Amino acid sequence: MEAPDEDLIATLIRLRQDPQAGPNEIIPVITALRDKRLRDAAPGQPPREIRLGQRSLGQAVPVLRDFLRDADMEVVAWAGQTLAWLDAREAMPDLLDLLRPEAVAERRIAIPIVFEDWGLSYPDEGAMYALQLLKATDAIPNVAACLASENERTRQAAVNTLQAMDAAPHVARLLARDDARLRAAAADFLLSKDIKAALRPAVEASLLSILEKDGAEARHAAARVLGRAASIAAVMPLLSSLDRPDTDADLERVVREAIAEIQSRRPGAAPGQISMPDPESGQLSLSDGGSGEVSLADDPAREDPKD
């Protein structure tokens, strides 16, 4: 029998205390709380202030946080989502803890042996979705660390979550990390996803900072991404980065490929050339002859001022 609204929280507390209660009993009560939030919220009303008889939905937060430690991953996922819908940011430490690879074993969360595409979420996937619903941008570093997970589903969940949270500028900063696996995963993320136009200046700034300050491996990763994502303004810093003493042949190749890719998107610029408006001639060309030096290219159509 369905519990009246005012008894939903009491029912949830009772189920949490009952070691025999299973997901078939628990999940309908959690989803009833969610439905109450979706159905009865007044415009502008904080969801946790919605009344259930003598209680408010906010009083469900402590027991929902307890359910984040349940052994059933469906219960964990529903509890996390409902906490997010209630804007329960106090649950963030519990959600972040679920991102640790050791969390499943420590909490004895049961994951079915046959688990392909049942529409269920691993605990870390459910936690990432809840953090996304919470718009918890301060959790982006924790989610980004999951890009280097050994679990393919975790990596994909991190990619989806970071994309939804517009996290590309933060991911760009990961290219300076010492962790080679994380650095490669961050580069793959930035290369595989279209970076929104509004985010590109921040991404480019982070990558150019790496070119200026960091070692060869970080510059190698940054140059790869700059070729795909940067503006023509990145060409000169890329060339300058080749002057560093730790530049090797592979880094030089990647930098020059990045420059060529950037220039290929610039109308009227020949390979090895940066073209920009000039108020007198209409075009000023800076040519790189392959030596890494950049010089002004002569324009035969331009009059000598002495004539």
Q: Is 195 in contact with 163 (CB distance < 8 Å)?
A: no
More confident residue, 39 or 245: 245
- Based on the domain organization, do 3 and 132 belong to the same domain? yes
In a domain, 254, yes or no: yes
What's the CA gap between 26 and 242, in Å, rounded? 61
| Parent domain of 51 | 1-112+119-136
pLDDT of residue 268: 54
Q: Tell me: the pLDDT tens digits for 165-216?
A: 999 999 999 999 888 999 999 999 999 878 888 998 999 999 999 988 888 8
Domain contains 145:
no
Question: Are 171 and 102 within one domain?
Answer: no
Location of structure tokens 């679990």: 151
Tell me whether residue 141 is in a domain: no
Are the CB atoms for 71 and 108 separated by under 8 Å? yes
At 143 the pLDDT is 95
Count of structural domains within the chain: 2
The answer to whether residue 290 is domain-embedded is no
293 in a structural domain: no
The alpha-helical segments, DSSP class H, found in 195-234 are 200-213, 216-229
Is the pLDDT assigned to residue 299 strictly greater than 50?
A: no
Please say if the pLDDT value at position 92 is more than 90.
Answer: yes
Question: Where residue 113 falls among pLDDT bands split at 50, 70, 90?
Answer: low
For residues 50 and 6, state if they share a domain: yes
* pLDDT score for 165: 94
297 found inside a domain: no
Does the residue 263 lie in any domain? Answer: yes
- Which of the four pLDDT bands, split at 50, 70 and 90, describes residue 28? very high
Enter the pTM of the model: 0.77
Residue 124 has pLDDT above 60, yes or no: yes
**Is 52 domain-assigned?**
yes
Distance CA 221, CA 68 (A): 37
- For the stretch 140-174, pLDDT in tens is 999 999 999 988 889 999 999 999 999 999 999 99
